[in-house]
Chain A
Amino acid sequence: MQAQVNKVVFVAAPEPVVAKAGATIDEVLKITVREGYHVNSDKPKDEFIIPLKLTWTGPVSVKQVTFPKAEEIDVNGQKLTVFTGSFPIRTQLSIPANTPKGKATVTGKLRYQACNSEMCLRPMTLDIELPVTIE
């Protein structure tokens, strides 16, 4: 199941999470980039390149977002650090101890900029909804 469908980047819909107030959620998003395309890594080498970025909002605080090791590729003589194919992005989210019990939605925003060897797509942001039940 795909949470969001864009031209070249897909994010698998996260499974609902049940957690206690004060706990830490370890959420792994599975990202897939259409064959032939790449998205810039979270730490591009060129200052003008738009990095991959994941942010979260909701009744949580973000402890850490971890991207995998990027690939180094050469496109038209330019050395780039990118992600291709399918890859995970791991996030540790902590639920404050005083969070009221009940259902909540944590929203992620994945900002990316994708290219192939001939063209680039304008930067896009995908919304990701993570349903959370706090016990």
Chain B
Amino acid sequence: MKTLKSMALITLAAWGLLAACSPSIPVDAASLRVSQDRKPAPDFSLKDASGASVKLSDYRGKVVLLNFWATWCGPCKVEIPWFIEFQQQYKDHGFVVLGVAMDEEGWDAVKPYMTDRKLNYRVLLGNDSVTQLYGGVDSLPTTFVIDKEGRIASAHVGLVAKNEYLGEIQSLLGIKTTSRITGNSSPLAVLAGAGQ
């Protein structure tokens, strides 16, 4: 036990040294297109869960994370908690998540899922006309990050790292903060475990 505690303390010290040298974990915004290469995000109008019509252009002036997803899509389920977190964290900074559900069963499938997963952002019911505007969207998740001018700043097909989204959002919002490390894999958790 003594050895284990010593190892944990050494790990903690090393972590502190690392933190001093590099005070934050950099997020990744490298996937953002340069401003002059961005193309306008095609506008569309879709219904939300309350039946209201929502146009993408309603959100001009905000950074929009436009996520095509479905209730049956496993990788989408991994991302959804991140999007809930982003919506919560950046909604007051001019950011919004828009989910476009591609379930053929429509709201009968989507609404229970929204309730079950406590989605805090707007979900629209997608159709093939809209997906055609965005290149077909054969694979889910497919996500576009749209800048305040309504241009596509990045496009992601499939599951990508949370920090990649975070970096893009922060960069487009002009926020210079960085990601936080969460979970129980930090040295502090190791130390806490060693004392048990």
Contact = CB atoms under 8 A, between A and B. Distances in A.
Contacts of B138: 7, 121-122
B104 A120 contact: no
B77 interface: yes
Given A121-B139, A122-B140, A78 B72 contact: no
B104 A76 contact: no
A122 B101 CA distance: 12
A120 B139 CA distance: 5
A48 B104 contact: no
Contacts of A123: 72, 104
Interface of A is mostly: loop
A119 B72 contact: no
Contacts of B71: 48
Contacts of A29: none
Nearest to B160: A118
A75 B102 contact: no
Contact of A117 (B72, B75, B104): B75
Contacts, number: 55
B72 A76 contact: no
Contacts of B72: 40, 48-50, 113, 120, 123
A120 B77 contact: no
Contacts of A120: 70, 72-76, 139-140
A75 B104 CA distance: 24
Interface residues of B, number: 20
Contacts of B74: 49, 75-76, 78, 80, 115, 120
B84 interface: no
B81 to A, nearest CB: 11
Nearest to B141: A119
Contacts of A40: 72
Interface in B59-97: 70-78
A40 B74 CA distance: 11
Interface string A104-131: 0000000001010111111100000000
Interface of B: 70-78, 102, 104, 109, 113, 138-141, 157-159
Given A120-B73, A120-B74, A120-B76, 8 more contacts: A49-B72, A76-B75, A117-B159, A119-B140, A119-B158, A120-B70, A122-B138, A123-B104
7 contacts: A40-B72, A49-B74, A50-B72, A118-B159, A119-B141, A120-B75, A121-B140
